[in-house]
């Protein structure tokens, strides 16, 4: 039950690390595109038999407040031109939301498999202290637009009709000093 909250929180630190490590975001408006694409998995091998997303990073330093010593960083997590997620069934290759599918999830529930494929994006905004690098506050907006089907076989070839599936999540963090 802690995997989701831990990975959400880690997203803020990974985004900040990428932006700081690049050395290219020094003035308001500076932008960097980092093609990554390597799938990240959340499958547990038991209930979630396949769970992957493939994203690129698109960070922008949107503002610097010299008097408050705070920087504002926005990092968009976007589908790569060619996502690298495993798509085990032919029906999963058709785009579900206007771009190549970069997210796949297959859950084993009793005698069926619930399989979904689609587009996942994250938009992260954070305020960072220019004094000590601490994240002062942040929001993470996560959207998944997918097609989902119930299947009776592990190969995901014997399935019912697809139905739309949309997930909208917003995570907010703040540092109390």
Q: Are 162 and 95 in contact (CB under 8 A)?
A: no
List the end-to-end C-alpha distance of the chain, in Å, as a whole number.
Answer: 28
Domain hosting residue 160, numbered range: 3-174
Q: Are 116 and 151 in contact (CB under 8 A)?
A: no
Residue listed under structure tokens 């920087």: 71
Burial class (CB in 10 A: 0-12, 13-18, 19+), 77: buried
Tally the domains of the chain. Answer: 1
pLDDT in tens, 98-138: 999 999 999 999 999 999 999 999 999 999 999 999 999 99
pLDDT in tens, 35-94: 999 999 989 888 999 999 999 999 999 999 999 999 999 999 999 999 999 999 999 999
């Amino acid at each position: 039950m802690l995997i989701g909250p831990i990975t959400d929180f880690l997203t803020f630190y990974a985004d900040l690390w990428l932006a700081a490590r690049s050395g290219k975001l020094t003035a308001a408006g500076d932008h960097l595109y980092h093609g990554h694409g390597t799938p990240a998995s959340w499958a547990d091998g038991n209930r979630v038999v396949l769970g992957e997303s493939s994203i690129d990073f698109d960070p922008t330093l949107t503002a610097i407040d010299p008097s408050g010593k705070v920087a504002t960083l926005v990092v968009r997590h976007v589908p790569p031109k060619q996502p690298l997620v495993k798509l085990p069934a032919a029906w999963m290759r058709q785009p579900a939301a206007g771009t190549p599918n970069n997210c796949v999830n297959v859950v084993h529930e009793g005698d069926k498999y619930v399989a979904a494929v689609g587009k996942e994006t994250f938009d992260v905004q954070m305020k960072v202290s220019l004094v000590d690098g601490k994240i002062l506050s942040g929001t993470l907006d996560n959207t998944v637009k997918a097609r989902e089907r119930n299947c009776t076989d592990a190969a995901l070839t014997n399935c019912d009709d697809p139905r739309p599936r949309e997930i909208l999540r917003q995570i907010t963090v703040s540092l109390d000093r």
